Amino acid sequence: MDVRFLGGADEVGRSAVLVDDSLLLDFGLTTETPPRTPVGDVDPDAVVVSHGHLDHAGAVPSLVAGERDPEIHWTPPTRDLCRALARNTLKLHGNTYRCPFTEAEVARVAQFSVTHGYGEPFEAAGYEVTLFDAGHIPGSAHVLVDDGETRLLYTGDFHTDDQRLVSGTTARPAADAVICESTYADVSHEDRRAVEERFAESVQTALWEGGTVVVPAFAIGRTQEMLLLCADHGVPCYVDGMGVEVTEMLRGHPDFVRDPDALDRAAGHARVVTGRNGQRKRIADQQTAIVTTSGMLSGGPAMTYVPAIRGNPTNKITLTGYQVEGTPGRELLETGRAEIDGHVMPVSARVEQYDFSAHADREGLLDFLDAYRDATVLVNHGDRCGEFAAELRSAGVDATAPEIGGVETV
């Protein structure tokens, strides 16, 4: 197989891998403004989407532009999440250079959509393809591609430890070559339960002191994780932004979440924000936690809550995920101020960051790859792919870190 990296090589974002110029694995966007799409003009026979995050699925509707008609293969949650992402991108950036597709193309996606469960082989672009639970978010998948001679495993994003929303991956299908993500190749995650206890104690303390806690969270996966945590610890909370829609969507796919009953209870525990009649400003004065988009403070209802609570040191902003360089969330962590709606605002409220990552850390990656010591490993989706590949080589693994636009034969 010839494997071409159109994105996601030595970077996090716009993941896209083309196999033999016919089968595309993922087609995402970067989180930059404006976002970048994968390189080259691609017209695959079929595309398989590993999961419903913007950096892996954000540009999928553009694949059905004009006369293009590739089959789009994914799990049912990934299909629904991708469509929700596309609608949100249209809402924010439609008919601008920031949006790589049109409303008509989003509608056309349904015509070419084919859904699959885990462990069910199917044909795509002449290959036998099987999806395996990747333990990242609901519906996330490792993608195994078999041409009869070579078995290629594309890991997508994955986690080897359990989260409240999904269980960690246990899949290790036999493969001759592995395209492996490396987001946290140089990080060891703190014990998840310890992080949860610190977070819950911090939020409860702030509320007891009379404060308000804003919890910026990614709409897909992280919001639901926070709602499950708040419900389990009895923390009063609101949920706002795109996470409201995503939570209801995931409740409709109980086979793809770890504990559907717990998710139902968490959704019932959280009060939904409609945003009407000045509701957000009233909530910002309450002793409550507010789980809201965006996770990096780059848009969404957080743009109302942060200015409203920033002046009181009793209040808190608890960042729950990685903050990309150049985002307001990263700026807030490093400088104590952030640019919100074009205004640089000093923040007196306490700012905290918690590692609720849905990615395998260094130990998880090495444990996963231990099953593939005799395979060719292509390291992607990380900021230090070359360094991690070199470490693998020193341990006797045939590992390389491809470049954008580069072709590897496996």
Q: Are 311 and 350 in contact (CB under 8 A)?
A: no
CA 402 to chain centre: 22
Q: If DSSP codes are grouped into helix, strand and coil, which group holds residue 73? A: strand
338-349 residues labelled b (16+ CB within 10 A) or e (exposed): bebeeeeeebeb
Per-residue pLDDT reduced to its tens digit, 254-295: 999 999 999 999 999 999 999 888 899 999 999 999 999 999
Least reliable range by pLDDT among 114-123, 138-147, 252-261, 293-302: 293-302
Angle, helices 222-232 vs 192-208, to 10°: value is 70
Taking 3-state DSSP, the helix, strand and coil percentages for the chain, each rounded to the nearest 5, stand at: 30, 20, 45
Q: Which two tokens stand for residue 311?
A: 């002046």
Q: What is the pTM of this model?
A: 0.96
The rounded distance, in Å, linking the Cα atoms of 199 and 286 is 19
pLDDT, one tens digit per residue, over 61-82 is 999 999 999 999 999 999 999 9
How far apart, in whole angstroms, are the C-alpha atoms of residue 138 and residue 122? 20
pLDDT in tens, 327-381: 889 999 999 998 887 889 999 999 999 999 999 999 999 999 999 999 999 999 9
Instruction: Return d(Cα 225, Cα 242) in angstroms, integer.
Output: 14
